[in-house]
Homo-oligomer: A and B are copies of this chain.
Amino acid sequence: MANRESVDNKFGRKALQVQDAQKRILAYAVRLESETVPLEEAQGRYLAENIAATHPVPAFNRSGMDGYAVVAADTENCREGGTVWLKVVDNIPCGSVPSGAIIPGTAARIMTGAQVPDGADAVVMLEATETRELDGIPHVGIHKPIASGRNITPRGLEISEGESVLPAGRKIAAGDIAVLAAFGIPGVPVIRRPKVAVFATGSELLDVKEPLQPGKIRNSNSPMLEALVREAGGEPVMLGAIADDLDLARGKVQMALETYDLVITTGGVSVGDYDIMGDLVREEAGDMLFNKVAMRPGSVTTAAVRGGKVLLAFSGNPGACFVGFQLFARPAIANMQGAAEPFLPEWTVILGADYAKVNNYTRFVRARLEVRDGSVYAHPAVIDESSAMVTIKDSDCLIIVPPEERGLAAGTKVRVIRLP
């Protein structure tokens, strides 16, 4: 019975609930400094400050039509099928300023988007008018009455001056870019992107360029993590793959934690002889945040902190590595960018097929969403082993299967985490 006890000690990890593990990470993966980037580089970044409207939108009473700005009351006289003739006293293209106010009996030719002159309170669309000269003066004929306010967007309808339009922590998309441009913000305050070091451990790992060898596999987790880090808004820094060697790993981790904002590793966490990352964390390399999480896949997920920097050590199993990233690394990277909502959104949806597996831990099952006739279904992947790699690409959500469920029948309501 030589090493039964030491083995037990090594296995005696306390499993943390996922939410507790997330909290421990986010306590250290905090908002980085802000910086100003040109508007054209702001897409995908997180706003560092609230943005308020620098002027009302529209900034003036704006014509919604090409036509004639009129005093609506003047058109009352068309009620019996007659035509009202108004003197055209102005021509207001977009970007111009009216030369004066419109008084009863007059009208101004106006373009869509142009400033409506004072006095006018409606715009008659061009197609509903005719023109002629009377005594050498251009007149516009109007055949139908128009209501006051028609075809005019009043100043400030969309936004009042000073109104908050974009909150800090918002991820900037095309519609936000339009808002920032409209308010004259050529330099956008955003949070710096975290530099995220990624490396893999495992003597079985070949580079993508190498031919396959017996017993070995190509390192697919590193390129996957690189893409995931980029998708989350981080700047991946790829540190390659190293063999299962404690000294090599220690050096790499120390350098990475000193140099980058966050360190992600894949492989080297297990209950076996090559629990490199676990051994490292048990050394004085840093404060352990956790080394076991009550989840499948990826219960061996390990996290530590050193010098304020977080180390996230994911399983080498592709499925576990992917799920671990979405649950722990993505929120960390979002939080470091000041995201108002660092976690992926959760939905309650309908399970699209029976799910038979029973777990002692909460399981995050890769699945595909389908919307049919107003309802959302999640179809679990057929192959959902921790080690499975192919089903990652076809998943757009993770079904959260609570522990100890004796299988879930199709039609059951389940919670899912939506993947980006």
Q: Is there an interface contact between B208 and A181, defined as CB atoms closer than 8 Å? A: yes
Complex Cα distance, B182 from A350, in Å, reads 33
A79 close to B (CB within 8 Å): no
In residues 171-228 of chain A, which contact B (Cβ within 8 Å)?
Answer: 173-186, 202-205, 208-212, 214-224, 226-228
B385 touches A373 (CB 8 A): no
Assess the A316–B113 pair: CB atoms within 8 A.
yes
A31 within 8 A of B: no
Interface stretch of the complex, out of A14-22, A51-59, A253-261, A356-364 = A51-59
Indicate whether A62 reaches chain B with its CB closer than 8 angstroms: yes
Of the candidates A96, A113, A185, A222, the one having the most CB atoms from chain B within 10 angstroms of its own CB is A113
Q: Which residues A368-385 have CB closer than 8 A to chain B?
A: 371-376, 383, 385
Decide: B1 and A272 in contact? CB cutoff 8 A. no
Is the beta-carbon distance between A55 and B202 smaller than 8 angstroms?
A: no
Of the candidates B218, B231, B270, the one whose C-beta lies within 8 Å of that of A66 is B270
Q: Does A81 contact B (CB under 8 A)?
A: no
Return chain B residues, CB-CB under 8 Å to A227. 43, 173-174, 177
C-alpha spacing A218/B216, complex, angstroms: 58
A43 touches B230 (CB 8 A): yes
A 115-134 to B, binary, CB cutoff 8 A, 1 in contact else 0? 10000000000110011110
Tell whether, in the assembled complex, residue A204 and residue B389 are in contact, meaning their CB atoms are under 8 Å apart: no
Cβ-based interface call for A165 (8 A): yes
A385-400 Cβ-contact flags toward B at 8 Å (1 or 0): 1111110111100000
With contact pairs A219-B181, A271-B126 given, residues A212 and B66 touching in the complex (Cβ less than 8 Å): no
Interface string of A147-162 (1 = CB under 8 A from B): 0000001000111000
Please report the total number of A residues contacting B with Cβ < 8 Å: 116
Contact between A274 and B93, CB atoms less than 8 A apart: yes
Copies of this chain in its oligomeric complex: 2
The stretch of A2-10, A283-291, A301-309, A334-342 in contact with B is A2-10
Contact partners of A133 in chain B: CB under 8 A: 2
Among A220, A231, A395, max chain B CB count under 10 A is at A220
Tell whether A313 is near chain B: CB-to-CB under 8 Å: no
Q: Contact check: which of B165, B177, B218, B220 meets A223 at CB < 8 Å?
A: B177
Residues of B within 8 A of A349 (CB): 371, 374
Asked whether A32 is an interface residue with its Cβ less than 8 Å from the other chain, the reply is no
In the assembled complex, which residues on chain B have CB atoms less than 8 Å from the CB atom of A92?
215
**Nearest-Cβ distance from residue A285 to partner chain B, whole angstroms:** 22
Inside 8 A of A57's CB, which chain B residues have their CB? 389-390
Residues of A within 8 A of B (CB): 1-4, 7, 11, 39-40, 43, 54-55, 57-60, 62, 64, 66-67, 92-98, 109, 111-115, 126-127, 130-133, 153, 157-159, 165-166, 173-186, 202-205, 208-212, 214-224, 226-228, 230-231, 238, 244, 270-274, 316-318, 322, 347-350, 371-376, 383, 385-390, 392-395, 413
